[in-house]
Chain A
């Protein structure tokens, strides 16, 4: 046998492939340029590269995992479907008001301040005469004739999709389903998104926003997955083995993906978190914070006790979304971040980015503004002649010229400017990381920093030192961590339904029936994905709040209705409130707002903990020496440069040192030490 699993992550610049052979343990990685107009072209080319290089048959793939940016790009670039919105009559302000928006900085007073525009404007919003009350009772029956008339309009206007969101439909879905039924009679081909399916959760504004997103990206995502299925089938791949990464860090089978387009909005970054979680688990770093620094931005996520931080709602592309997703925070600074002198006369880095084109000045593609990468080239950390996996021959002289120009505005030379750019961007990232960690009531010193992305390993050690983190981990292939993450997670689905009620009276409420219904949806989806009904492992959760509070915390609630089950959940809630917010109120009444079921089905995984023969006496030999500048010594030091391929588990060395590999460069500062762990990770001690 020669069974491979393949993960392909579509990025803005490159499409990355990671593959592992389940029989031999061999692995393979590749990068091909992305094809943003037709992302599947790059995917096919990566697959062909893989098949050729490994001499394997695509028909025999055990699994093909995919991280996509199709939905995200459609959203960010405003290329969604021609969609309509149908809401309860009388509530046209509920979506456009964007209640709960809290701007920062200049937006607090700027008369030009704008909230995120609705994805579906008022002119395409239709009103259904109907009303369900707070207790789920029908207060005003759905006017079926009015819906039939609206259906005619939808047909005439050639809508591709319609989002339906009625008040309190999470308690009584009859009107939404009846409206959908009537519309389908007139418009059999229209894609219909119902809020009672997409997000049956209390609070109308995020629910409308979420279902509108579903209608907006759904047709685009559906078309993409159809095409992807066809084109990969043509290569002999069994489409039933094609899985899509979701925002929640788990996979779903391709045939389900078009039904859950919102789940693909964080597909790529979530794969990186899946990778981090697996590394946390298998390499013995249960508490870590990810540091994924790319060209334009840096993503971070907290992993505690091997679990990635998850949120049940947030913003994607400024649009409110209520689905469950890994909690990724983005800092607007990457290798391409542009340095400039601000109106206050101080040195700023970002948030503007030179992107891939023209890119940093030293790429010699026409960019003239100095970037973080130019600073790194000037300081001797990266070799400007070996950019983009050696495919781009840059010019360090151009970096120096851009930095000289910057420095002249504040009376310093190019070197001082380069060092300043690096210190400012590192300090900004350190602040952002500390805020993220502090928000969870955690101390940065208890975490390891996991660096990946093209630029992460170049900045991680300095950022870690700044915030008191002692250990930095650089995995074997930091540039393709997301592609690898696609091979390191389970099939996972989350289901939710709001049923507000007192926690203390939960035993008398409809909790069991609601959980049973959620479980049933999970089993139905498992069957649609080709698994046995009994396969999903189901975890029940509750969103709980104190009376009067406007937000909830999610608590695992297995065996809720067993003896002491309620008391156990109550204690867990008070405890989590205490750790998260510093206080709790055990005497205050607690309320259940939303019930959740999380379904997981294990998949074969790429292992990171593959034992590798260890040779404690082996000495690494540098491939060259380079002059590099360090803030701590305020001088250039002769720095050995090692090729990553030459480093073996067990090897140790002291900084300063530079480790080069095709997909990234790692910097070890003068006071830092490096050891290669048994799994081949670089472990830097600060």
Chain B
């Protein structure tokens, strides 16, 4: 039977409700703060082949779901039964972006027939490995990055596997939280399955399987239609990683050749540099997710992200490069590289379709940890903060300030909570003048945050791109570079590389600077009134207004129209 556009809309609404219910359940019942506070988790409904039908939460979990479910199908095949849930976080066997991201894949049976999967993925606080959190700058092999589960049957109709939970107890520094989170992941997939049962009972197995396929086909049709409307052609873009994670003198380059022919898009990464020694590599699932997000963000961000991306976009990504790590390459600090892939994809896409171009966001995204022997309450503890740059300018507006790139949440660590819990004093948290990439529409501003640390501590920086920054587009300018420094401006100044671990002494100052977004279009074309407003806001200096934007401003930020016209050569 052919589903009509009314029935399919209703089923789609119900599936979205099911995915949201799963996601709510995951975030509400999870144990660990990282899951609840950083929203680093998601839930999805997959078809019987492992293709994502729809999901709620992190869009970059798209390909990870597919590869994880494929591994479960290949390993367990006909042995799967109702009541089973499988645990997989092996990034080489399945689809995890790195070891702490654990997937729970629960087969959904209608009657005795496998009809799909409900799945969830969530970042765990610690899976063992070299350091707390499992992600060490010093990892040189995947085996340094924590315990990996290869699609094991974690749950059966008899309940959770004691074997597996005991293994976690022996291997994780925070096993209670890990087990609590895993159980809530299973719980959320079960809620999903019961919602699917209601729908399958009501509409029948065949109709629902057809609905799954129609929803994926619908996204594919939309992607292909938008691609077909673009001119055929080839576009190339490159970006350089600061270094290979070990040798600061060894930058690595990502090279993308994007080919558009008829309604097909091919992304060829085969000229990308060989894989790195340090943990800055990507598994294909990370590269593919970042590229798909990059393409869809410009093509049409309202297209539901599902298995259609896998069908409509062809990836050429031979093994052995930064974008296709091979075992046992370390991958734990994948996010800055994934972000760079997304920016490269957007830039290559802009070459094919300049009318849809946007400037890339600033670089430097990453995490920062301070481990204290004693928090304010006397117990040891880890302060974990995500550092996010700002978005790039677009053809119609400035980039947003301080947003996580590729998955645009804004993490929250209130100053008053930080100071109440940890022996730390926040000295500044401000936009930094003249850091936004100048343009007709500028990037969001870069910013600075400075701390005084009041006790001994160990700090770990896992960020990206302090040497090679973002860029402008269609004539826009590049923004500032991100950086991290201990005791800046003093004789003890220590400018950190992107991956670093340092001992901190009481009284040390720690400064982090994040990059603004790239500029869009020639700064000369920016409305002088907007430049004046930026100057009044302290985002652009009067000097930069003159040099970058060719706008003359008075000391009280009024536009001197006559001088501006001369500066802009239109007098």
Contact = CB atoms under 8 A, between A and B. Distances in A.
Interface of A: 90-94, 96-103, 105-115, 121-123, 133-134, 139, 167-168, 202-205, 341, 343-348, 410, 412, 416, 420, 423-424, 427-428, 431, 434-435, 438-439, 500, 502, 547-551, 580-583, 585, 589
Interface string B1-37: 0001110111011101100110011001101010011
Nearest to B6: A420
Contacts of B28: 439, 580-582
A40 to B, nearest CB: 36
A547 B376 CA distance: 12
B20 A435 contact: yes
B8 A346 contact: yes
Interface stretch (B149-157, B251-259, B396-404): B396-404
Contacts of B10: 423-424, 427
Interface stretch (B264-272, B293-301, B545-553): B293-301
Given A346-B5, A346-B8, A583-B184, A122 B428 contact: no
Nearest to B377: A547
Given A99-B413, A168-B416, A427 B14 contact: yes
A666 B346 CA distance: 53
Interface residues of B, number: 84
Interface core residue of A107, A108, A114, A549 (most chain B CB under 10 Å)? A108
Interface in B522-542: 533, 536-539
Contact of A121 (B58, B410, B414, B537): B537
Interface in B391-429: 391-392, 394, 396-397, 399-403, 406-417, 419-421, 425, 427-429
Contact of A93 (B12, B402, B411): B402
Closest 5 CB pairs of A and B: A100-B412, A420-B6, A123-B536, A122-B537, A431-B17
A416 to B, nearest CB: 8
A551 B297 CA distance: 32
B318 interface: no
B222 A343 contact: yes
A439 B28 CA distance: 9
B6 A108 contact: no
B354 interface: no
A632 to B, nearest CB: 14
Given A111-B301, A122-B536, A344-B304, 6 more contacts: A92-B431, A100-B411, A427-B10, A431-B13, A547-B377, A550-B33
26 contacts: A93-B401, A97-B401, A97-B402, A101-B409, A101-B410, A103-B409, A109-B305, A109-B408, A110-B297, A110-B301, A111-B346, A111-B358, A112-B358, A113-B400, A123-B538, A134-B419, A341-B5, A420-B5, A431-B14, A435-B21, A438-B24, A550-B412, A582-B187, A583-B29, A583-B31, A589-B377
B16 A431 contact: yes
Given A202-B416, A204-B416, A344-B219, A410 B4 contact: yes
Nearest to B424: A134
A428 B24 contact: no
B429 A550 contact: no
A256 B298 CA distance: 51
B302 interface: yes
Contacts of A105: 302
Contacts of B409: 101-103, 108
Interface of B: 4-6, 8-10, 12-14, 16-17, 20-21, 24-25, 28-29, 31, 33, 36-37, 39, 58-59, 180, 184, 187, 218-219, 221-222, 293, 296-298, 300-305, 346, 358, 376-377, 391-392, 394, 396-397, 399-403, 406-417, 419-421, 425, 427-431, 447, 449, 533, 536-539, 557
Contacts of B557: 123
Given A103-B409, A123-B537, A410-B4, A96 B416 contact: no
Given A101-B409, A202-B416, A424-B13, A93 B6 contact: no
A115 B296 contact: no
Contacts of A502: 377
A203 B414 contact: yes
B431 A96 contact: yes
A168 B428 CA distance: 15
Contacts of B392: 111
